[in-house]
Amino acid sequence: MTAPSGSHSTGGVDPGSVQVRLAEGVATITFGHPRSNSLPGALLSRLAEAVTAAGRSVEVLVIVLRAEGSGPFCAGASFDELAAVSDAASGLRFFSGFASGILAMIRAPKFVVTRVHGKAVGGGVGLVAASDYALASEQAAVRLSELAIGIGPFVVGPVIERKIGPGAFGALAVSAEWRDARWAQAHGLYTEVHDTVAGLDQAVETRAQRLSGYSPAAMARLKQVLWEGTESWERLLLERAALSGSLVLTDPARRAIQEAIGKRP
């Protein structure tokens, strides 16, 4: 199994990084971006490719997803790329990246265990929800901020709603405010929450090692059962991507995105 090679940025947007390490049947996929692990299109594409490749590899028994650094787990969509969306087609292309990432995770015939060490926003919450088992630290608060920037959590909505239920998803989407890690655990987004990152790391390693000793056939079949009912999501998520791609072109969204960019350090 080979780690994905580097990608070149388009439009001056840093593409970030995706690295894959395979050890004892566990493929650890690490993504990173200098802007708080945000998600530009190039990174989303490479992440989906890495998960798909790991899922197909006979050497891989379990996939662990994690992010670089000690700050946020994921700041969500790249504001630089959102600002660069110029028409419905480019909007659809960008938001389709989130659809590809989510679909790769839920379609992979291996369990995806996600380590959430810090805050997760928007698309980052979608990645967590697309995991089969998510472990977090106390610092891993969550937020769906899309409404506050003139769009909505449309592409990530189906997977988050499936994981935490319509009531909790509605509260998270409408308030656009932070909810702490214990709230996320109580509503089923996180399976475990640990007091320290060291404790989190130990728990992730233990869980991955334990799963790697189970029957691959049984795990693959259980994964299918866990995601039954998502067969139409290829179409649904693309429809949602088109909706987001059109809304990001509206004046309220444009103003909110530029304001957010202006507040960055």
Q: What is the pTM of this model?
A: 0.94
- The residues that bridge with 60 in the sheet, in sequence order, are none
CA dihedral 67, 72, 77, 79 (to 10 degrees): -130
Is residue 33 within 8 A of residue 59, CB to CB? The reply is no
CB-facing half-sphere around the CA of 68: CA atoms within 13 A: 14
Write out the chain's pLDDT in tens, 265 residues. 544 434 333 456 789 999 999 999 999 999 999 999 999 999 999 999 999 999 999 999 999 999 999 999 999 999 999 999 999 999 999 999 999 999 999 999 999 999 999 999 999 999 999 999 999 999 999 999 999 999 999 999 999 999 999 999 999 999 999 999 999 999 999 999 999 999 999 999 999 999 999 999 999 999 999 999 999 999 999 999 999 999 999 999 999 999 999 988 7
Asked if 39 contacts 97 with a C-beta cutoff of 8 angstroms, the reply is: yes
Those residues whose C-beta lies under 8 Å from the C-beta of residue 163, and which sit 6 or more positions away, are 129, 188, 189
Q: Give whole-number Cα distances, 244 to 126, 236, 248, in Å.
A: 15, 13, 6
Instruction: Indicate the domain borders of the chain.
Output: 17-197+216-262
Nearest to 108 by CA among 166, 164, 65: 65
pLDDT at 13: 75
Supply 153's token pair: 């959590």
Give SS3 for 129: helix
Instruction: Report the DSSP beta bridge partners of residue 74.
Output: 120
> How many CA atoms does the CB half-sphere of 8 hold within 13 Å?
2
Length of the chain equals 265
The pLDDT tens digits for 188-205 are 999 999 999 999 999 999
CATH superfamily of the domain spanning 17-197+216-262: 2-enoyl-CoA Hydratase; Chain A, domain 1 (3.90.226.10)
Distance CA 226, CA 202 (A): 25
Report the chain's terminal Cα–Cα distance, integer Å: 39
Query: Do 115 and 204 touch, CB atoms closer than 8 A?
Result: yes
The pLDDT value recorded for residue 263 is 86
Bridge partner list, 112? 63
**Secondary structure of the chain: what % helix, strand, coil (to 5)?**
50, 15, 35
Per residue in 110-139, pLDDT (tens digit) is 999 999 999 999 999 999 999 999 999 999
- Beta bridge mates, 193: 136
CB 98 within 8 A of CB 126: yes
